[in-house]
Structure 1
Amino acid sequence: MNRRVVSMWFPRLASDRALRLRPVDGPFALTWKQDNAERLHCLNAAAERQGLRRGMTHAEARAFCPDLQSRPADPQGDRHLLHVLRRWATRYCPWVGFEGADGLVLDITGAAHLFGGEAAMLADMRQRLSRAGFSVRIGLADTRGAAWALARHGEGRAEPGRPLEALGGLPVAALRLEAETAIALQRLGLRRIADLAAVPRANLARRFGPGLLMRLDQALGRQAEEIAPLAEPPHYGVRMSLPEPIGLVGDVMAGLSRLLERLCEKLAAQEAGARELRLTLRRVDQDSRQVDLRLARALRDPARILPLFERGVREVEAGYGIDQMRLEAIAVEPLAAEQVCHVAPGDGARLDDLISRLGTRIGLENIQRFLPADSHVPERSFVTAAAAFSAPGGSWTSLRPRPLRLFAPEPIAGAGPEAGPRPPRRFRWRRMSLTTARATGPERIAPEWWLADENWHRGIRDYWQVETEQGRRLWLFHTPQDPGWFVQGEFA
């Protein structure tokens, strides 16, 4: 049985995707910034009929076609679409791989009869893709190279065992050659693949090297070329069926320990760690109970994960017994291998375990930490982030000392406009009468004018460190433009 290969080329993959989301009538193109200029990345058929081409600058294209509509290109979205099309193409055969950034290659050997023959299969492919709004060109031949050439330079079907008859009239560029090699061959008068096949091989190898002959042999079937399908992502799940139902917490934890060892071996083989685990316990009455565990950090250490499950397992109602256990990692992150040593986990590991334990009760999102932010404004000098999804970093250093406690500005009583730019001698704050013993300052802070903030509508602030005779160490500021005194923080 001859090997049969189909090559699908989507010449307008990016623009077809964009127009599926938001249809446009008339010329349309996606733009991409290259060499400090906006250039056309992908065009629809109407734009090509206007004489526009890929690589043309956007300004030049608008001069040729004033009605041109454009949007920025989204390469990541295009790659995702190609993955979706690859999964769809497995309906025709299991061996489907990528052919560059805009094509697919299928090994349909022995599968065409399921669709009524090769012609019916190709017609079904074109019909379904056209109905979905995709432009496609399809080639079918005995080899991957011949199918690629037919899809991009001829669009047709080569009869089994006779690839040269279908490829002979195509240009030499259809052999997937470098542009310089194709131009050099054309200058020598070798414009078609048939002309190239008639030249002695020794002369071609001496002039152009072995790469040219390899591409020619791959297209004509003299040299094999593999089709590597995209590997399916690994599945991180293990299962255990029990000969007798169990119901004690200790028995369930013992079974879970065995499942964790097997699951962590799979994770270690892929250098991955679990962030979210799900334990499914099937009861004798065919009902199931689930125990979900979300971890503060990616882990694959059974000894650290097992105790975190105990609280959830204790809350499970076993009924008449549990006869099957399934453990699955439903959220996985890369986790590089670490050096094994005899030292116990450091403080970071213990903190992560503590966050995971608390997160099972109140939710990981509710455990937050403060992180420094790049801003001289006190209110914006920090941000809060979920501790499980962030890492401590940055620096809290400042040119001037900052209070340990920071709160919204609170006006003080007894300091009117006549108090002046220095801290008042006596004032009231939070129903306390305070007397200034020593004041250090001022430190002038201006608002960030590029951000709208109602809290800074009074303008600049002059901050003072005030030590009171009553023992309070406060952070006061004065607003010269709209005179007033406020307390915003308290030192330890």
Structure 2
Amino acid sequence: MFDGIKKRVVCMWFPRLASDRVLRARPCDGPFILTLKTSNAERIYCLNTEAERRGLHRGMSFADARAFCPDLVSHPARPEQDARFLSVLRRWATRYCPWVGREGADGLVLDVSGSTHLWDGEAAMLDDMRAHAERAGLNIRLGCANTRGAAWALAHYSNDPVDGALEQLPAAALRLDEKVISGLQRLGLRTIGDISTTARAPLARRFGSDLLLRLDQMLGVQPEPITPEAEPPHFGVRMTMSDPIGLLDDVMGVTARLLDPLCKKLKAHEMGARKLSLTLRRVDQGSQQVELRLAAAMRDPLRILPLFERGLGEVDAGFGIDQMRLEATLVEPLMMEQIGATTPRNTPDQLNDLITRIGTRIGLENVQRFLPADSHIPERGFTIAPAAYSTPEGPWVSLRPRPLLLFRPEAIAGVGSTPPERFRWRRMSLTTARVTGPERITPEWWLQDESWHTGLRDYWKVETRQGRRLWLFYTPQNPGWFVQGEFA
């Protein structure tokens, strides 16, 4: 009688996932660590083999690590990038079986039941996994068993990756909290064999049901499913033409037909495109690509289509284009908006379309806007950011009026702590008519700024008889007068 396929599970553990990810791009022969700020202190988040050989370990203070290793190389950790890298490894692992899930922040679990024969057995499959990981510069440990818990234990605590002796493994192989492990050790229960031969009722009363659940999951008494991650939606459409096209109007027409289904798919997932890539394949097998970067996420084909016109006008169709492919390479969440009779005109959309049109000519990064900053220092009262990747913030708040035009301080002649009655500025002779002030501004002591090395400043608003309305300041510590701005 056919009893079914025997369940087999493989656990992939990448013990140095974070450091391996960085060292793949920036190799380092010496000790290397990644640091992460925890509990108001920089600590070791991950390290390479050389750093561990020098006596460093995870959780160690960064200051202590530098004392141990003066030649230590360090970089800040990026856990979010590590998570994305693990997602890439998960897609790679699907070459061995379609059922692949995550195992914590640095591991994968695979249900290889029925697929090991494709690799001439489990041993050959595990060897292939090690070979691919080694070529990619990754440290990997493997475990293969009948249950997920047993595979995890073998990968983390055994030198025999295939059905090793579980009874000799430490209690930590049951994936328990450190407090539970310490409590078991105080009772003399140091291995899984010790725990499995102990009466279950006292263990449950003392340590709770999680201990027995983990033990049963390892032994296969309790099932532990493997939940694979769903593949992210792919926002791409393609059209093949029976007859080649080359006129701009024809290419724009096909682009419009591609935008409709793409935007419908974006709407179904409540997403909007920020970057679109249109690939045009010619009959001579050559291809050209037109990339459109949008100032804001959108999914309206009527708004997107005119933005492609400039890029498509520069395409060389050759002997004709027989295939076009449109893909949203960068998407963002874009929720639905309530529209009613009293809804105002969509001015932000018009502004974003204008930014996109200008950005196609000079680059989106070069279209910039001013944003308010929390600082009483005039030079730091604002920041400059790309308009496509920032949102207007405000309103601008200032206790005193600020000049519309601000420039570097320009020295003028003056004596005393009050504005001079007559002075020359930019080859102009000016006469003071009215003054307002002073407004004393002190440096931000927590920042080192060479432009404020003279100390505090007394600012005055000076209206001249010649019609210029200037912003002057006086430096008491090092007496001198300067013009820094001009009012409208």
The answer to whether TM tops 0.5 is yes
Structure 2 partner of 1:380: 380
Aligned partner of 1:471 among 460, 467, 473: 467
Aligned to 2:77: 74
SS in 2 for 1:233: coil
Partner of 1:337: 336
1:198 deviates by 7.3
Greater shift, 350-359 or 434-443, is seen at 434-443
Contact kept, 8 Å, 1:170 with 1:193, in 2: the verdict is yes
Q: Deviations over 1:49-72 (max 9, x none)?
A: 899875566789999x89996857
CA-CA distance at 1:489 after TM superposition: 2.2
Contact 2:30 2:73 survives alignment (8 Å): no
State the shift of 1:442 in Å: 2.1
Q: Alignment partner for residue 9 of structure 1, among 13, 20, 29?
A: 13
2:30 match: 24
Q: Taking structure 1 as reference, are residues 421 and 315 closer, same or farther at Cα in structure 2, changes over 3 Å only?
A: same
Amino acid corresponding to residue 425 of structure 1 in structure 2: E
**Maintained 8 Å contact 1:138/1:156:** no
Gaps of 5+ in 1: 160-164
Alignment of 1:325-364 (within 5 A): 325-341=324-340, 343=343, 345-364=345-364
- In structure 1, give the amino acid aligned to 2:464: T
C-alpha distance in structure 1 between counterparts of 2:71 and 2:464, whole Å = 70
Distance 1:285 1:151, change over 3 A: closer
Change (3 A) 1:279 1:111: same
Two-structure CA RMSD over aligned residues (Å): 4.1
The secondary structure found in structure 2 opposite 1:294 is: strand
Corresponding position: 1:434 with 2:423: no
Q: Which residue of 1 aligns with 2:265?
A: 266
Matched AA of 1:295? L
My pick for the range that moved more, 444-453 or 277-286, is 444-453
Q: Superposed, which structure 2 residues align to 1:278-357 within 5 Å? A: 278-341=277-340, 343=343, 345-357=345-357
Q: What CA deviation, in whole Å up to 9, does each residue of 1:84-138 have, x standing for no partner?
A: 5445544444433321123222233343334332223333444554676655432
Alignment match, 2:146: 142
Q: Measured at CA, do residues 211 and 453 of structure 1 come closer, stay the same or move farther in structure 2, by a change above 3 Å? A: closer
Partner residue in 2 for 1:225: 224
Partners of 1:466 and 1:252 lie apart in 2 by 61
Aligned partners of 2:69, 2:467: CA distance in 1, in Å?
74
Find out whether 1:154 has 2:158 as its counterpart: yes
Relative to the length of structure 2, the TM-score reads 0.80
Q: 1:330 to 1:8 in 2, by over 3 A?
A: closer
SS of 1:393's equivalent in the other structure is coil
Secondary structure, in 3 states, of the residue corresponding to 2:117?
helix
Mapped to 1, the partners of 2:215 and 2:21 lie a distance apart of: 34
Contact persistence 1:47–1:68 (CA under 8 A): no
1:103 aligns with 2:107: yes
Deviations 1:186-220 (A, max 9, x none): 88887765676678989988998765665455434
C-alpha distance in 2, partners of 1:66/1:357? 53
CA contact (8 A) 1:138 1:155 kept: no
Bigger-Rg structure (1/2) = 1
Partners in 2 of 1:319 and 1:133 — Cα distance? Answer: 44
Aligned 1:89-238 pairs, distance under 5 A: 89-126=93-130, 129=133, 135-156=139-160, 166-168=165-167, 170=169, 174-178=173-177, 214-238=213-237
Answer yes or no: is the 8 Å Cα contact 1:138–1:151 preserved in 2.
Answer: yes
Q: Percent identity?
A: 64
Count of aligned residue pairs for this structure pair:
480
Q: Per the alignment, do residues 62 and 113 of structure 1 end up closer, same or farther by CA in structure 2, a change over 3 Å counting?
A: same
Instruction: Name whichever of 197-206 and 37-46 sits farther off.
Output: 197-206
Q: Hey, what's the Cα distance between the residues in 2 that align with 1:49 and 1:454?
A: 44
Seen in structure 2, the aligned counterparts of structure 1 residues 422 and 110 have a Cα distance that, compared at 3 Å, is: same
Name the aligned partner's letter for residue 95 of structure 1.
Answer: W
- The residue number in structure 2 matching 1:404 is 404
Pairwise CA distance, 1:242: 2.5
**How many Å apart are 1:393 and its aligned residue?**
0.9
Q: TM-score, normalised by structure 1?
A: 0.79
In the aligned structure 2, how far is the partner of 1:322 from the partner of 1:18?
42
Please tell me whether the aligned partners of residues 438 and 459 of structure 2 are also in contact (alpha carbons under 8 angstroms).
yes
Q: Is the 8 A contact 1:99 1:105 kept in 2?
A: yes
In 1, Cα distance between the equivalents of 2:286 and 2:22?
Answer: 46
Amino acid at match of 1:279: L
Question: Which one-letter code corresponds to 1:22 in the other structure?
Answer: C
| Corresponding residue SS for 1:259 | helix
1:138 aligned partner, one-letter code: L
Q: Distance in 1 between matches of 2:168 and 2:212?
A: 18
Shift of 1:238: 0.8
Instruction: Measure, in 1, the Cα distance between the counterparts of 2:185 and 2:287.
Output: 70
Separation of aligned partners in 2, 1:218 and 1:103: 18
